[in-house]
Amino acid sequence: MSSPSSSGGRSRSRPGTPIPPFLLSKDADTLLLTCDRPAVELRVHRRILVEASEFFRTMFGLPQPARGKGKGRHEWVGGEEGGVAVAVEEEEEMPRIDMQEPASVLIPLLTLLYPVPPPSFPTLSLLPPLLRAAHKYDLPRAIAHLRSVLLDPRFLHTDPLAVYALACQFALAEEARAASRCTLKVELMALLLPMPDKLGSMLAVDLVQLVALRVARASQAKALLKAPSALAALRCTCGHLPPWVGEWRRRACTELDRFPVSETVFGSAFLGEVVSLCGVSCGTCGQARWDKGEWERLRQEVDALPDTI
């Protein structure tokens, strides 16, 4: 805890970091001072911190320095003539705790502890310092919410590499697996040449795991497509596969090297392009066979391949 200091170094408001009403509460019993200059005063309730965190429970359980009493003053009540001076005791001085985080981190972190709506996260930029602070102060409720933010489709589907990097950085296995699955829909070069700001503290081995996952899955998927039994139900009476199957296999194997997932190669647009080029009828007997069940069976075999680290 810090010692009281002059108000010149403290501020209850600061441009760009609006303080919500619950952190300006008059019945608060503790002041958290951010590392901003000037520091921002956040009025908090010790009970909420103690209930939310073993860290704060231990800290407040230690012997505390004596709290200074508020200074007395007098206010004149009544008119100029016949009025009386009434003694008024100022607010008792609250314990002050110097924090190592700025208001931009502490305010959303505290918001996750109070019974108020959680903060919104338009981007992932604030999650690293919030996760660090939540782990530092042992805040399981805040950590659980931040983990759920990582799995938000806005981030998981649009920037899975950034989510994966954060999950690896903070040893969040479940989130790392979910993000690794989504990276299969990202170009390989986007993984080999990632933007530095997305990597964070991700280790090289984590990136190698992603590349190994997609290479192995692409290899296994291509083996399924090339198997003699694949699409066997499409053979005509003379024993030949439709002319488009060979071209589809060739193109599909190339596409699987880019994106080792079934969505594209089994999609109607991909298939339609191949069929329009090669035709559907057997060149020998003229038959054109199609078996939707066989097509879906092969697709399901590809989908069943391992898709997470």
Location of structure tokens 């078996």 = 291
Mean pLDDT of 267-285: 83
| Virtual torsion, Cα 9, 14, 15, 18, nearest 10 deg | 170
Q: Which of 217, 198, 204, 212 is nearest to 259 (CA)?
A: 217
| pLDDT at 110 (0 to 100) | 97
| pLDDT at 191 (0 to 100) | 64
Mean pLDDT of 98-127: 95
Mean pLDDT of 137-158: 95
pTM, whole model, 2 decimals?
0.79
Distance, in Å, from the CA atom of 18 to the CA atom of 40, rounded to the nearest integer, reads 10
Q: With bands split at pLDDT 50, 70 and 90, how would you rate the model's confidence at 23?
A: very high
**179 Cβ contact partners less than 8 Å away, ≥ 6 residues apart:** 150, 156, 160, 161, 163, 164, 167
Q: How far is CA 294 from CA 2, 238, 291, in A?
A: 72, 19, 5
Distance, in Å, from the CA atom of 142 to the CA atom of 108, rounded to the nearest integer, reads 10
Q: Which residues pair with 253 in a beta bridge?
A: none
| pLDDT at 275 (0 to 100) | 87
Is residue 77 helix, strand or coil? strand
In the predicted structure, residue 289 carries a pLDDT above the cut 60: yes
In the predicted structure, residue 73 carries a pLDDT above the cut 70: no
Q: Which residues pair with 41 in a beta bridge?
A: 33
Per the structure block, which two tokens stand in for 233?
């139900």
| pLDDT at 66 (0 to 100) | 59
> What values do phi and psi take at 75, rounded to 5?
-120, 140
Asked if residues 289 and 279 have their Cβ atoms less than 8 Å apart, the reply is no
Neighbours of 97 (CB within 10 A): 17
Location of structure tokens 């921002």 = 40
In the predicted structure, residue 277 carries a pLDDT above the cut 60: yes
| pLDDT at 7 (0 to 100) | 43
| pLDDT at 258 (0 to 100) | 92
Q: What is the mean pLDDT of the chain?
A: 83
Distance, in Å, from the CA atom of 33 to the CA atom of 56, rounded to the nearest integer, reads 15
Helix and strand totals (H; E) in the chain: 15, 6
In the predicted structure, residue 25 carries a pLDDT above the cut 50: yes
Is pLDDT larger for residue 146 or for residue 59?
146
In the predicted structure, residue 95 carries a pLDDT above the cut 50: yes
Sorted by where each begins, the domain ranges of the chain are 218-303
Per the structure block, which two tokens stand in for 17?
């970091």
> What values do phi and psi take at 241, rounded to 5?
-80, 155
Mean pLDDT of 33-62: 92
| pLDDT at 154 (0 to 100) | 93
In the predicted structure, residue 243 carries a pLDDT above the cut 90: no
Cα angle: 35, vertex 164, 17; to 5 degrees = 25
Per the structure block, which two tokens stand in for 211?
């590349």
Q: How far is CA 253 from CA 24, 259, 260, in A?
A: 61, 10, 9
Q: Which of 129, 127, 132 is nearest to 151 (CA)?
A: 127
